[in-house]
Structure 1
Amino acid sequence: MLKRMLVAPDPGRLRLRNATRAVFGIGLAVTFSGLASHSLPAAVAGGLAALLALFTVTDARVRDQALTTSLLPLVGFPVLALATALHDYPLARDLAFLAVVCAGVYARRWGPRGHALGIFAFMAFFMAQFLHAVPGQLPELYTAVALSLVTSSTVRFGLWCYERRLPVPVVPALHGGSGLARTTTRQAIQATAAAAFALGVGQFLSADRWYWAVGTVWWIFVNTASRGETLVRGFRRVLGTVVGIAVGLLVAVPLHGDTALTAALVAVCVFGIFYTAAVSYSWMVFFVTVMAGLLYGLLGVLNPGLLVLRLAETGAGALGATLAVVLVLPVTLHATTDAWIQRALHCVHACTAEAAARLAGSPTADPAPRVTELEALLGRVRLSLAPLVHPLNPLRARKARARQVLVLLDLCAREVRGLAAVAADPDASHDARLDAACRRVESAVLALAQPRPVRTELLAAPAHAPHHHPGAEAALTHLHALEGVLAELAAPLHTSPRSPLVPA
């Protein structure tokens, strides 16, 4: 798992840039919050607000990111006030928390902005429990959060805004249907049911730290779209928590709240959270768990028993999420994976069309953004297929089929990247054969989109013609290879998922 994290591709070094910027932005936010309030809880609140703003705001355009960030206090401050006001009324507090969970998940239907606002609202309620905040602390908490958002935004949109120069892929969530057929509606109901279960079990385990179980439910449901994805994420969260607690016992407890060393290690954890989030959920949870232990050490309440309780609460939350996705309006894995694969295939066709237009001399055609979009879509396909390729999956036929789909889609991406690189050559000239090849790719994609297999005949690879431009020859080679890979995808996509694959 560590090797996978270290060798995972990082196009444009986006993960490295994002993680480094996060450490810088959050560090400044915590510093200014602490200087303004001289309060440790306020500094923690400010740091958490900055982390959430940098981590959860993922709109495609920079100005949309700035707008979403500016809206965070509008949802966070009222929720924070509500949580502190209900601190002494457990039943009302619990009902309000469940309502925030339901509304926060349902808000994902409005895309990245709804997703970010929902997370911030939930974490505002969670933060009030974490800090045991009371109404009298609201002024300093509001000041710290606002100052942190301004500081982190100055870093993100002013001092270090690499998004203006590098494409940042954003993949819209799957919605589909209306009412209970809509994924976000089903997930809102599932998450609320899971949170209710976790809340009850969590309070049985601890009257003071019960919110950990609810937090586990929330973060398991983030960025999942099917029953299988949620189950795998629950397993990975428990795994990351177990390893994080073990390291916390060895690192955080002996520090005894030493401010300088704790701050340095928290910075390492922040870097780890941002750097690993896109490639390994278990590692991200590991860094979150270690950071939480370090923060509890600063607050003076850390001990081995507290870390064991955290593990028990995490288990309660994971169990609640498992029961909810299995028993409450389950969203099947097959429907979700098929939808993501179809999106990726249509993006493959769009990439080839843009490349062909560029080679034909169009000044506006550019396949590069489509290639970036395809990479993001393939990330979602991998996430969706993760339950099937998981080592613990006993269904060998489905596992083999899922692995073959991933291999073939990666080959598609490789050919598309090569085609885009050829199209970027300003000297590459138009070749009449490119249009025909692109049409065959389009036909292959449409055939894969049919509910039944459609037989397509592959044309022979174009022979090299000396009078043609080398760029056109290279493009034709990529297109023909792409056509062949798309034809191979027909077998795993159009036969029963339970039947064994027949070797080609």
Structure 2
Amino acid sequence: MLKRAFVAPDPGLLRLRSASRAVLGIGAAVALCGLVGHSLVAAIIGGLAALLALFTVLDPTVRGQAGTTALLPVVGLPVLALAAALHDYPLVRDAAFLAVTGLGVYARRWGPRGHSLGVFAFMMFFAAQFLHARTGQLPELFAAILLSVCAAAAVRFGVWCYERGLPPAAAPAPLAATGLARTTTRQAIQATAGAAFALALGQMLSQERWYWAVGATWWVFVNTTSRGETLVRGFRRFLGTAIGIALGFVLAVPLHTEPVAAAVIVAVCVFGIFYTAAVSYTWMMLAVTVMASMLYGLLGVLDPALLALRVGETAVGALGAALAVLLVLPVTTHAVTDGWIQRALRCVHACTAEAAARLRGTADADPAPHVAELEALLGRVRLSLAPLLHPLNPLLARKERARRVLALLDDCAREVRGLASIAADAEASHDDRLTAACWRVEAAVEALTAPEAATGRRPDAAAPAHSGVVEGALAHVHGLEQALAQLAEPLQAPGRARLSGG
């Protein structure tokens, strides 16, 4: 787990740059809050706003990111005001929190911007509970949030805008569905149901810290689509929290009264959150938990019992999410995995066809966007297969089959990248062997994704034109053919068990 979090590949040092920029941006936001005389409570909510502005805004273009960042206070400030106004009306407050939870998840149907605004709204309601915000504090809290979002934006879009010049990230669209089967609709219902369970049971554990259970349920649903993914994420959240609490006893309890030491630990935690988020949810949660422990210490309420309660509330939240995905509109891991695998295979064919067209001299043919899309789709496949590849999965045959599918898809991606690289710099070639090979790739993809529609065509190759470029391209296409042929066994073997049953 440690190796995965800190030795995982970091192409372009993007994770390192993101984590370093986050420390700079959040540090600047908190420092500005201190310079203008804001209270500790206002500085904390300002730091949280800056963290969310840097962490959750994931639009594919810099212009889109700037637009979403500007909209964060527009959504967040009214929610914070609502939470503060309802502080003394528990039943209405709880109902409002559940409504914000459901709407925040549903907003993901509008893509990265909807996701960012939904998270920010939820966390503003959550922060109001964490800080016991009252209406009399709202002017100062509003000012701190606005100042901090501006500080984070100045760092992100001015001081250190490393995204400028990078190609827009390829974010795959959700799997097609309508009605209650639509991912955002289903998850909004599931998250609300899970949060209601967590809220009720969390209040039985503590009338003051119940919101940790709701928060745990909420974050378990982020970036998951099947019940298997959600269960694994819930387990990882609990594990990261438990380890973080143990570390909190070592760091937060003895050091929270030392401002310099506390500031350094919080900065290290911020770096850890951003650096590990993409590769290890467990380590990210460990960093979040240690940071929260230090903040409780700065607020003067930290004690061992509080840390133990945090573990219990997190367990309740994870349980709420698990029950929701198992009992409310459940979607199996197999259904989601199969959908993403088919999308990836069709993208493999699109990459091959565009590269072949480019080699034949078609000026506007460009495989690069499809290569980027394939990488994003494989990320979704890895996420959906995570439950099967988990060390605690007792279904060894399915685990091995999932591992083989993932390895073969990685082989496909490697061959596609090689083919696209050759096509990018090659002279045009009209070798019909390449056309024939691409037809075979198309037939292989059809056989895997829609076997009833597969034509089985095997066109003959024409007389070869001697070209080193074509030979290199053919080598990659033949590699693709082999990987696709080998995928037939784990994906379509007659009479086998389903790839996953969860």
Instruction: Give the TM bin, normalised by the shorter chain.
Output: over 0.9
Return the alpha-carbon distance in structure 1 between the equivalents of residues 82 and 88 of structure 2: 11
- Residues 297-345 of structure 1: per-residue CA shift (max 9 Å, x gap): 2212112111101000001101111111111111121111111111211
Q: Return 263-272 or 238-247, whichever deviates more.
A: 263-272
Instruction: Report what 1:215 is aligned to.
Output: 215
User: For residues 163 and 95 of structure 1, do their structure 2 counterparts lie closer, same or farther at Cα, with a shift above 3 Å needed?
Assistant: same
Superposed, 1:145-156 pairs within 5 Å as 145-156=145-156
Match for residue 497 of structure 2 among 487, 496, 499: 499
Pair 1:143–1:170, CA change in 2 (3 A): farther
Shift of residue 193, structure 1, vs aligned partner: 0.9
TM-fit CA distance, 1:261: 1.7
Instruction: Establish whether residue 79 from structure 1 lines up as the match of residue 43 from structure 2.
Output: no
1:96 aligns with 2:102: no
Alignment of 1:441-460 (within 5 A): 441-450=441-450, 456=456
**Which letter does structure 1 place at the counterpart of 2:72?**
L
Task: Tell me: CA distance 1:303–1:119, structure 2 relative to 1, closer, same or farther (3 Å).
Answer: same
Q: Aligned letter for 1:138?
A: L
In structure 2, C-alpha distance between the alignment counterparts of 1:144 and 1:362, rounded to whole Å: 55
Aligned partner of 2:335 in structure 1 is 335
CA distance, structure 2, for counterparts of residue 410 and residue 452 of structure 1:
26
| 1:391 alignment counterpart | 391
Q: Specify the alignment match of 2:260 in structure 1.
A: 260
What is the rounded CA distance, in whole Å, between the counterparts of 1:20 and 1:461 in structure 2?
54
Cα distance in structure 2, aligned partners of 1:88 and 1:204: 18
Greater CA deviation, 208-217 or 176-185?
A: 176-185
Deviation (angstroms), 1:409? 0.6
Identity, in percent, stands at: 69
Other structure's SS at 1:424 match: helix
- Hey, what does 1:318 align to over in structure 2? 318
CA displacement at 1:476 relative to structure 2:
1.0
Deviation of 1:204 after TM superposition, in Å, equals 0.9
1:392 partner SS = coil
Inter-partner Cα distance in structure 2 for 1:228 and 1:280: 17
Q: State whether residues 58 and 170 of structure 1, in contact with CA within 8 Å, keep that contact through their aligned partners in structure 2.
A: no
Matches within 5 A, 1:25-424: 25-424=25-424
Range with greater deviation from structure 2 (366-375 or 128-137)? 366-375
Give, in whole Å, the separation in 2 of the partners of 1:365 and 1:162: 29
1:59–1:170 contact (8 Å) kept in structure 2 = no
Q: 1:4 to 1:458 in 2, by over 3 A?
A: farther
Residue type at the aligned position of 2:7: V
8 A contact 1:216–1:318 mirrored in 2: yes
For 2:426 and 2:177, the matched residues in 1 are separated by 44
**Distance in 2 between residues matched to 1:462 and 1:201, nearest whole Å:** 71
1:451 Cα shift? 5.3
Work out the CA distance in 2 between the residues paired with 1:496 and 1:386.
Answer: 24
Aligned to 1:482: 480
Which runs of 5 or more structure 1 residues have no equivalent in the other structure? none
Do the aligned residues in 1 keep the contact of 2:256 with 2:294 (CA within 8 Å)? no
Tell me if structure 1 keeps the 8 A contact 2:33–2:144.
yes
Bigger shift: residues 353-362 or 386-395: 353-362
Deviation at 1:498, TM superposition (A): 5.0
Contact 2:190 2:324 in 1 (8 A): yes
Take 1:203 and 1:375, find their aligned partners in 2: how far apart are those partners? 43
- CA separation of 1:7/1:388 partners in 2, compared to 1, >3 Å: closer, same or farther? same
State whether residues 25 and 156 of structure 2, in contact with CA within 8 Å, keep that contact through their aligned partners in structure 1. Answer: yes
Q: In structure 2, do the counterparts of structure 1 residues 461 and 281 end up closer, same or farther at CA, with 3 Å as the change threshold?
A: farther
**What one-letter code is carried by the residue in structure 1 that aligns with 2:384?**
S
Say which SS state the counterpart of residue 58 (structure 2) adopts. Answer: coil
Once residues 130 and 70 of structure 2 are traced to their aligned partners in structure 1, the CA distance between those partners, rounded to angstroms, is: 24
Contact 1:412 1:486 in 2 (8 A): yes
Instruction: Tell whether the 8 Å contact from 2:436 to 2:460 is kept in structure 1 after alignment.
Output: no
Scaled by the length of structure 1, what TM-score is found? Answer: 0.94
How far is 1:442 from its partner? Answer: 2.1
- The structure-2 alpha-carbon separation of the partners of 1:459 and 1:201, relative to structure 1 and needing over 3 Å to count, comes to same
Alpha-carbon separation, structure 2, partners of 1:444 and 1:17: 41
| 1-structure distance, mates of 2:195, 2:208 | 16
Superposed CA deviations along residues 344-377 of structure 1, whole A, max 9, x for unmatched, are: 1122122223322333344444333332222221
CA contact (8 A) 1:451 1:494 kept: no
Contact 1:42 1:144 (8 Å CA) reproduced? yes
- Cα deviation, 1:219-247, whole Å, max 9, x if unaligned, reads 00111101111001011101111111111
Q: Give 1:142 deviation, angstroms.
A: 1.0
Verify the 8 A CA contact 1:397 1:497 in the aligned structure 2. Answer: no
Distance across 2 between alignment mates of 1:430 and 1:367: 18
Task: Decide whether aligned partners of structure 1 residues 482 and 186 sit closer, same or farther in structure 2, where only a CA change above 3 A counts.
Answer: same
Which deviates further from its counterpart, 438-447 or 377-386? 438-447
Give the Cα–Cα distance (whole angstroms) in 2 for the partners of residues 456 and 275 of structure 1: 47
The answer (yes or no) to whether the contact 1:62–1:164 under 8 Å persists in 2 is yes
Determine the C-alpha separation between the residues in 2 that align with 1:353 and 1:31. 54
Q: Which runs of 5+ in 2 are unaligned?
A: none
- For structure 1, which segment, 303-312 or 264-273, has the greater mean C-alpha deviation from structure 2 after superposition? 264-273
Deviates more, 1:467-476 or 1:206-215: 467-476
* Contact kept? 1:430, 1:472, Cα under 8 Å: no
Q: CA deviation at 1:496?
A: 6.2
Residue 437 of structure 1 pairs with residue 437 of structure 2: yes
User: Root-mean-square deviation (CA), in Å?
Assistant: 2.3
Q: Give the conservation status (yes or no) of the 8 Å contact 1:55–1:274.
A: yes
**Cα displacement (A) at 1:69:** 1.3
Q: CA deviation at 1:78?
A: 0.7
Alpha carbons 1:462, 1:477 under 8 Å: kept: no
Deviation at 1:129, TM superposition (A): 0.6
Offset at 1:205?
0.8
- Please identify runs of 4+ aligned residues in structure 1 that moved more than 6 A: 457-463
Compared with structure 1, are the counterparts of its residues 419 and 89 closer, same or farther at alpha carbon in structure 2 (3 Å cutoff)?
same
Give yes or no for contact 1:453–1:494 (8 Å, CA) kept in 2.
Answer: no
Residue 155 of structure 2 aligns to which amino acid in structure 1?
Answer: V
**Secondary structure of the residue that 1:165 maps to in structure 2?**
coil
CA contact (8 A) 2:422 2:469 kept: yes
Question: How many pairs align?
Answer: 499
Instruction: Measure how far apart 1:416 and its partner are.
Output: 1.2
SS at match of 2:50: helix
